[in-house]
C-alpha cells in the first residue's frame, strides 16, 4: 500500500491549511518545522521527518537550534537549504526571546497625540493625515498614514480609516494632520471629515477620541474644544 502523502491528508490536517483554519498556535513543533522545509522524503512526509529530528533532539527546540547544518543533513530529505531554514528559524526564535518587549505608549490627551506625531510631521512641506489606533487600555497598536496631499488640503477616505481600525482590532482611535501654513484653524473640510469619521466609527463601535491639527509648536484639538 502506497504511503499517504500530506497532499492526501484531510485539508484541516495539513500544516498550512490547519494554520489558516485554526491559527498558528494550533500547530505542533513538528508541523511548524514541516512548513519551513516544505517536503519530506520517499518514506516520510515533512511532518513525519521533523518528528524524527525532534525525537533525536529529545523534543527540545533549544537542542535542535544547537545542531549544525551537517548534522541535519544526515537525515534523508534534508539538504543544506532545508537545514539552514531550520537553523535560521531557531535563531529568530532566540533573538525574539532576547529582545525586550517595548512598552506601548499610552494616549490619554490631545497633548499625547500632539507629542506622538510632532517629530514625524512638524517639518513636512505638505499635508499628511495619520490615524493612531488604540487598544482597550488606550495604548498604541499602530499608526497609519491615511492621506497625503498638497499645501492646503489632503484627501482622506473614511472607509480606509475604518478598514485599518477593524483589521488591527482597535477600540478607539485619534486622527492627526498637519497644517504647513502654520495656522491651526480647522477648515470646512477638516470639520466635515471629523463629523463623518465620528459617525461612521460609532456604527462600528469604535470611538474617535480626538482629531488634532498640528503646526510647528502648537496644535488644535477637537476634543479640547468640545467638538467631539
pLDDT per residue as tens digits for the range 143-181: 999 988 754 456 789 999 999 999 999 999 999 999 998
Q: How confident is the model at residue 8 (pLDDT cuts 50, 70, 90)?
A: low
pTM over 0.75: no
Domains in the chain (CATH in brackets) are 6-98 (1.10.150), 110-221 (3.40.140.10)
pLDDT at 4 (0 to 100): 45
* pLDDT tens, residue by residue, 102-136: 678 999 999 999 999 998 888 788 999 999 999 99
pLDDT at 100 (0 to 100): 55
Mean pLDDT, all residues of the chain: 88
Distance CA 227, CA 192 (A): 12
Distance CA 3, CA 22 (A): 26
Going by their DSSP bridges, the two strands 172-178 and 207-215 should be labelled as parallel
Q: What is the residue whose three cell numbers read 477593524? A: 166
Tell me the HSE value of 211 on the side-chain side, using a 13 A CA sphere.
23
Amino acid at each position: 500500500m502506497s504511503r499517504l502523502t500530506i497532499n492526501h491528508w484531510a485539508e484541516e490536517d495539513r500544516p498550512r491549511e490547519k494554520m489558516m483554519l485554526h491559527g498558528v498556535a494550533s500547530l505542533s513543533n513538528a508541523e511548524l518545522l514541516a512548513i519551513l522545509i516544505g517536503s519530506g522524503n520517499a518514506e516520510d512526509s515533512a511532518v513525519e521527518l521533523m518528528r524524527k529530528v525532534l525525537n533525536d533532539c529529545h523534543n527540545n527546540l533549544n537542542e535542535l537550534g544547537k545542531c549544525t547544518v551537517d548534522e541535519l543533513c544526515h537525515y534523508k530529505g534534508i539538504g543544506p537549504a532545508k537545514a539552514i531554514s531550520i537553523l535560521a528559524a531557531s535563531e529568530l526564535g532566540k533573538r525574539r526571546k532576547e529582545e525586550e518587549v517595548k512598552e506601548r505608549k499610552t494616549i490619554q490627551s490631545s497633548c499625547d497625540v500632539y507629542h506622538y506625531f510632532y517629530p514625524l510631521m512638524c517639518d513636512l512641506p505638505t499635508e499628511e493625515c495619520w490615524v493612531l489606533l488604540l487598544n482597550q487600555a488606550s495604548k498604541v497598536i499602530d499608526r497609519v498614514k491615511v492621506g497625503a496631499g498638497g499645501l492646503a488640503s489632503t484627501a482622506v477616505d473614511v472607509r480606509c480609516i475604518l478598514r485599518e481600525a477593524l483589521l488591527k482590532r482597535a477600540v478607539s482611535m485619534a486622527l492627526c494632520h498637519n497644517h504647513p501654513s502654520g495656522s491651526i484653524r480647522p477648515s470646512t473640510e477638516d470639520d466635515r471629515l471629523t463629523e463623518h469619521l465620528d459617525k461612521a466609527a460609532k456604527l462600528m463601535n469604535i470611538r474617535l477620541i480626538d482629531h488634532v491639527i498640528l503646526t510647528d509648536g502648537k496644535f488644535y484639538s477637537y476634543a479640547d474644544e468640545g467638538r467631539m
